[in-house]
């Protein structure tokens, strides 16, 4: 079972969600609209996201979809 780690910093208006452990060597890519994808720098695998200027009820979080598991074709 996957475990999510969610960090909310109201003073900074920052929401961070990790579905894998944070890495010392991680990189970030801005996807647009203040949504940042956090990836393992060695594998490029997504491990989390950050949402800038977040506040409860922010509709951008509803637009982010993360699916864990293997794709069945």
- Name 37's bridge partners: 29, 49
Is 6:15 a contact under the CB 8 Å cutoff? yes
User: What's the CA gap between 26 and 11, in Å, rounded?
Assistant: 24
When pLDDT is averaged across residues 68-73 and rounded to a whole number, the result is 52
* Residue 47: per-residue pLDDT: 95
Helix %, strand %, coil % of the chain (to 5): 5, 40, 50
Provide the pLDDT for residue 4. Answer: 87
Of the chain, the percentage scoring pLDDT greater than 90 comes to 56
pLDDT higher for 29 or 63? 29
Q: What is the pTM of this model?
A: 0.75
């Amino acid at each position: 079972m996957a475990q999510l780690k969610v960090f909310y910093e109201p003073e900074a208006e920052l929401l961070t969600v990790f579905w894998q452990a944070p890495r010392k060597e991680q990189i970030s890519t801005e996807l647009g609209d203040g949504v940042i994808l956090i990836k393992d720098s060695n594998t490029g695998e997504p491990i989390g996201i950050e949402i800038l200027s977040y506040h409860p009820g922010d509709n951008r979080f509803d637009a982010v979809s993360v699916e864990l598991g293997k794709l069945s074709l």
